[in-house]
Amino acid sequence: QVSRTFKRGSEVPFYVGNLDSVFEKHQKWQTLLPRVTPFYAVKCNNNLAVLRTLSALGTGFDCASKREIEMVMSIGVTPDKIIYAHATKPQTHIRYACAQGVDMMTFDNEEELLKITRGHPNAKLLLRIAVDDSKSQVKLSTKFGATLGTVGSLLKRAHELDLDVKGVSFHVGSLCTDSVAYRWAIEEAHHVFEQARLIGFHLDLLDIGGGFSGHGLEMVLNSKATVWVIALDEFFPADSGVRVIAEPGRYFVDSAFTLALNVFARKKVWSLPINGNGLDTMIMYYVTSGLHGAFGDIKLYPDKKHLFCAPTGTEPRYQSVIWGPTCDGADRIMDVWMPELNIGDWILVDNFGAYTIPLSTDFNGFEKPTIYLVVTPQIWKMLNFKGYFGIFDIGPHFIVIQSVVDVWRYFFLNSYSSYI
């Protein structure tokens, strides 16, 4: 969405994060997957208000490091609601988890088992297995997960070391487009449960990881998707005594955040036309956050190429390049055909809450986007945020609004200053 309105005076990029959206995602999850407890993947968006919202809703948290454990514990999350879901961990982080009482953690190799024996011998372990990630945009199974051929010897080794293996985890890869991938993974996990039983373990925890789309729960909603929910009931029926958890990141936050970028410079150049004769105008725009800022993961997520959707209409479109603000010649966000913009215009990028905020740097001295959070009074009350008010570490950047639809009016019209 391209906005021609002007936020007076400011050029600093900013996000608007809608906590109502996080709340709604949680409601939807509970309706569609009542058996599966979400442990939100903090790495995806570690904004404190998001963490507090999810904590108030009762989710658990998937932490990847000591720092993330510290962060969620600082807002009052108890250790039983944390899984240290990184298959390869620094020894000091393992010891930290142990000292804090964070017991659930994953592993995928023998060296890790030895480290855990030294740092947290009473940990409750989940064996992370490598699964088919060919249908996902971000692949994880080359780097993480034990292959099925090594599972038996790993479980035997854990048994010899007197470690407590409680379950199996997997991750089909981020942005998974095929629900059958989950089905296969669930079936493989079931196979590992059987192997573990023969070795003498009693597993009762299945962690189905993340990978769910941020624009809904399509994996569950379309007919193909039911394939894996059925598989869950087939291989791990409700009366099997197996607790099922997941580590969704993108699902909860992607659609909740919109980024606003200021066009602070532009340059017209000539380029060869795609077809026909003569030269075409190409317009280069320079905006306030780029590949070293909010767009740090754009190469990993090709779907973000659709981010800049110009308004429909009859306005002529020009071949355009959108550059980030830094002196890095590779800081090229994307090439796109769109109507002409002027200096001072704002570009709004929807669905931008996943893997953007934690990846931003202030390279070249350009500020990271400011984060404004909005929530309606109903949800504010429902979440019982009253108790949090004042200790919310987000200062004045918190806005309670009547309707989230009106958000952009607050930012771009005169009323803006009275709300921030």
Mind telling me the catalytic residues? 327
Cβ proximity to ligand PLP, 140 vs 186, nearer residue:
140
Residue with tokens 């090439």: 335
Minimum distance from residue 95 beta carbon to ligand PLP (Å): 20
- Window of 119-127, 184-192, 248-256, 368-376 that interacts with ligand PLP by CB under 6 A: 248-256
In this complex, which beta carbon is closest to ligand PLP, that of residue 29 or of residue 385?
29
- Residues near 238 by beta carbon (within 8 Å), at least 6 away in sequence: 35
Q: Which stretch binds ligand PLP (CB under 6 A): 47-55, 111-119, 221-229, 243-251?
A: 243-251
Choose between 7 and 135: whose C-beta lies nearer to ligand PLP: 135
Is there binding between residue 113 and ligand PLP (CB under 6 A)?
Answer: no
Residue nearest to ligand PLP (CB): 210
Stretch that binds ligand PLP, among 68-76, 110-118, 245-253, 310-318 (CB under 6 A): 245-253
* Contacting residue, 20, 247, 331, 345, with ligand PLP by CB under 6 A: 247
With vertex at residue 293, the alpha carbon angle to CA 62 and CA 341, rounded to the nearest 5 degrees, is: 130
Q: For residue 325, how many C-alpha atoms fall within 13 Å in the half-sphere facing its CB?
A: 23
Q: Is 17 in the site for ligand PLP (CB under 6 A)?
A: no
72 contacts 55 by C-beta, under 8 angstroms: yes
85 near ligand PLP, rule: CB under 6 A: yes
Q: Judged by CB, which is closer to ligand PLP: 13, or 211? A: 211
Residues contacting 330, CB < 8 A, separation 6+: 291
Selected binder of ligand PLP within 20, 62, 68, 112 (CB under 6 A): 62
Instruction: Write out the DSSP string of 240-298.
Output: G--EEEE--SHHHHGGGEEEEEEEEEEEEEEE--SSSSS-EEEEEEEES--TTTTTTTT
Give, for 175, the enclosing helix (H) or strand (E): strand 174-176
In eight-state DSSP terms, residue 326 is: S
**Looking at 209-217, 219-227, 304-312, 360-368, which segment touches ligand PLP (CB under 6 A)?**
209-217
The position carrying tokens 């930290």 is: 96
Could you tell me whether strands 318-323 and 60-63 are parallel, antiparallel, or unpaired per DSSP bridges? unpaired
User: Given the rule CB under 6 A, which residues bind ligand PLP?
Assistant: 41, 44, 62, 85, 140, 171, 174, 209-212, 247-251
